[in-house]
Chain A
């Protein structure tokens, strides 16, 4: 998975999204694989994530994974792909996104099954690499 650092060298790999205004882009390859996007709570959470990042406001802790301070997110460290929980910290509705210095790219909604698969990062990158490369160019 070393290729990911080659393709997304400017992706930010901090645990939290920066609290500064950024453009939020939904990739052309964006998909909801959970079928939960029409759930009012998830829809409101996704909207809140977009509006907070756009205006540079900090995201509430409930969007981040548990134990974020004490455990390593290998997907983030290796590929630059962050994930947020929609519908509560223990929910299985995850928003996968990549944060650049001035842009945030939304990749897809999916569940923890993404993490159950081997080479999860490669699958994510294979699905979205082309669109991400385009966003990274303007970031």
Chain B
């Protein structure tokens, strides 16, 4: 599935702008951009975005795998609430 042309252009514009600022987008950025366009694993947005960063591959599946790997490495797994008492959960939520 190919994303609508306008959305695809938006993604590439964002990526190129970041590259031009000497701050290539991270895997997380690229994954977010790709998802936002409705891009599939075979979508050119991923390939083009990958080429614009250090996640380079002409194979869309490889590019996507690298993007996801980068994304997984970029953030934690979230805060584990299981094991907390109800009072601890409430306290944690009130701290947000």
Pair from one complex: yes
Residues on A facing B (Cβ under 8 Å): 1-4, 6-7, 22-28, 30-32, 37-38, 43-44, 46-48, 50-51, 53-54, 105-106, 119, 122-123, 125-127, 129-131, 133-135, 137-138
What residue in chain B is nearest A46 (Cβ atoms)? B93
The bracket for how many chain B residues form the interface is 35 or more
What residue in chain A is nearest B43 (Cβ atoms)? A3
Min C-beta distance of B48 to chain A, whole Å: 15
A137 and B72 within 8 A (CB)? yes
CB within 8 Å: A-B pair count: 111
Min C-beta distance of A8 to chain B, whole Å: 10
Min C-beta distance of B33 to chain A, whole Å: 8
B89 and A122 within 8 A (CB)? no
Interface 0/1 of B15-26, CB less than 8 Å to A: 000000000000
